Structures are given as structure tokens and as C-alpha cells.
Structure 1
């Protein structure tokens, strides 16, 4: 029987919501929607590149804790609150896939996210070798 393994990163701020950063089922990893909180729980407010880099860093840490990395990410779902951040998002996102092997992806512009100062949130699905 396959079991669920709840993944969190030691030393990272615990979000005061009923969610787990990621869940591993067999060799599949499901990463929750991740906002731009740093390890101390501080949000990079008002600056999209800072929030984007923090989100990607947070996901990098989760992937590593689960035993995988960006090269094994199969799909990303990206939520932006401002359409004008799309190009900047793409530029920063591309840095994590230098070989040009992109995962499947959807990017949506949404009216809002759970907190007014969240500019984006990213969830992804990955293989754990």
C-alpha cells in the first residue's frame, strides 16, 4: 500500500493555515501553492521580482527536502495577481531550467490571492527518483 509522506523544510516558517508544503505519494511529489514567505515568515511585499525569487527558492528547498530538484518537475501552475508581471515571471522562471527543458505549465491571472499583498503563488508536481 502506498502511503503519504508529508514534506516540510526544517527551519522554515510554518504557515498558520491547514496545509502541508508538499505531499509525496510513491515517487510523485505534490507541492502546495507556495507564496513568498521567507524562512522567518516575512513576506517580500510590493516587489514582484523579490516575491518571485522567494517563491522559487522556497520550492527549491521543498524539492531538495523531498529528494528531487527542478529537473524532475513535470508541471507548474502559476497564479499572478498582475498581468504586467508575466514577462518578469518568465525571465526568473527560466533561470531554473537552464537546459530549456520546461515542465508543462499554466499561468493564470487571478483577481486576488488569500492575502492582499501576495503577488503570486506557484504549485508544482514532480518526480522523486
Structure 2
């Protein structure tokens, strides 16, 4: 059993090691970042696989202060969605191309407020969405959102 676990961990490590897919001769995978690697956390802002964009989760950090947006849940949710919009725009994409969002809340009671803020950033037909409660998020954020978008060739 121990050997199987070690083998599994080694295989996962090999698959997830930096550059495994980036060095592939298949040009359909792109790792998109607006900041150099030394200035960001160890993940890509967006990974493009053919016509699909996978956006890393965003929280309500104000880029100017590097702190969570002040003013309560709605302010933090608004900053989170603004960060998603700015990340997409930095790479030439838009919110209209988002087809799915996954929302994590530390308090499910914020669901109604989320919908109010969300409707300011997305218009009908809305992207598909899953929302669920979690016990904690990075930096004590109250919301994290990750998205998938589809773009033309």
C-alpha cells in the first residue's frame, strides 16, 4: 500500500510539475499572466486550452492596497468581479465570454447580496454558476470566484 501511495504521489508530481505541459509541442495550451513570475503567486491567471479559458480563483483584493476591499461583503464581491473583468481585459477578453462561474462563500447568508452584485457584472443570458459555502478562504476573504470562458480561435 505504501509503495502504491508513493507511486501515485510521484506520478501526480510529474504531471503537475512546472513546464510539463508548457514545453509540449502542442501549441494549444497557453499560460497567460500579466505579471512576471517573481511578482505573483505560483499559479497562472488564465490557462487557455484551445478555445477555453480557465481563470484562477479571484478574491476581493484591491490591487492598489493589496488588501481586501473595505466596506463589507458587497464591496468585496464587487472587487472580486472587477478583478476577474480586469484579468480578462488584460489578455484581450471580456466578461461576455464567461460561460461558467464557481463561487465560494464563507457565509451562505451572503447569497442574496452576491446575486445583486453579480448582476452588475453579467447580463442575460447569464453564465452557468455553482455557489457553495466553505469554512475559510485565502487571506480571510469572504468570497472567491473562478470562471471558465470560451473564446474564438
TM-score normalised by L of structure 1: 0.85
Matching residue of 1:61: 86
Q: Distance in 2 between matches of 1:66 and 1:75?
A: 18
SS in 2 for 1:95: helix
Matching residue of 1:78: 103
Matching residue of 1:124: 147
Unaligned segments of structure 2, at least 5 residues: 1-25
More helix by share: 2
Q: Distance in 2 between matches of 1:59 and 1:33?
A: 9
> How far off is 1:58 after superposition?
0.5
1:24 aligns with 2:56: no
SS in 1 for 2:67: coil
Q: Distance in 2 between matches of 1:46 and 1:118?
A: 13
Cα pair distance change 1:97/1:80, threshold 3 Å: same
Unaligned segments of structure 1, at least 5 residues: none
Question: How many aligned positions are there?
Answer: 124
TM-score normalised by L of structure 2: 0.73
